[in-house]
Structure 1
Amino acid sequence: MFVLELTYTAPIEAVDAALEAHVGWLDEQYAKGIFLASGPKDPRDGGVILAVAEDRAAIERIAATDPFVGAGVCAYRITEFVATKTAPELERHREAPR
C-alpha cells in the first residue's frame, strides 16, 4: 500500500486552475481500483492519497500522470508500507509482514 503526499509548489490560484483536471484524474484511478481515499490537507498546502498498486514503479508512473504534475503545481512524496491491519472494508488489501 502507498501513501502519496502532495505538496503544492505554486500559488493556490495555479492549483485551482488545474483542479478540475486533477479531480477527473482521481476519478479514473478510483474506477481502476488504485485509489482508496484522498483529500486535501488542512491547512490546504497539498493533499494525501491512499493507494494500492503492484509495485512502487507502477505508483510512480501513475503519480507522474497527475495533471497537477503536468501543470507544475505540486511535488509528490511516495511512502510504501505493509498494511498488516486494516478496517474490515479494506481487508482485501491486507498483507503479511515481510
Structure 2
Amino acid sequence: MKLQKTTKKDNQSLGKLYQFIDYKKRKPFFRKPIKILMGSPINETFYMVENIVYEGKQILALKQENNLNTIVLVEAKIEDGQLKQVSRISNEFLSEIQGLFKKTI
C-alpha cells in the first residue's frame, strides 16, 4: 500500500510518495502506557511509560512495579502485532537514546 501526499505551491502540484510499511515502522507501536509481565527468568511486572522509535527499533522505557524510581530502557521485538521479546539496550546506543527520552519523560 502506498500513500501519496500532495501539496500546492505556486499553482503546481508537488507530491511525495510514502511506502505505508516504512511509514508504520517509524511510528511507536504502543501509544498508551501498558503493564508488561515478564516471564522466566525475570518474573517481574513492569509499566511501559514511553515508546519511541530509534533507527527503526521500538524502544520502551519501563518502570519496575516494585521500584518506580528506576527506568529501564529496552528494545521491543514485535511480531504479528504482539510483543514477543524485550532486550536491554546495548551500551553503545544507551547515551543517545537516554537523550531522546529526557525530552519526553
Same fold (TM over 0.5): no
- Name the structure where helix makes up a greater proportion of residues: 1
| Structure with the greater alpha carbon radius of gyration | 2
Higher-RCO chain (CA-CA 8 Å, sequence separation at least 6): 1
- Name the structure where strand makes up a greater proportion of residues: 2
* TM-score, normalised via structure 2 length: 0.28
* TM-score, normalised via structure 1 length: 0.29
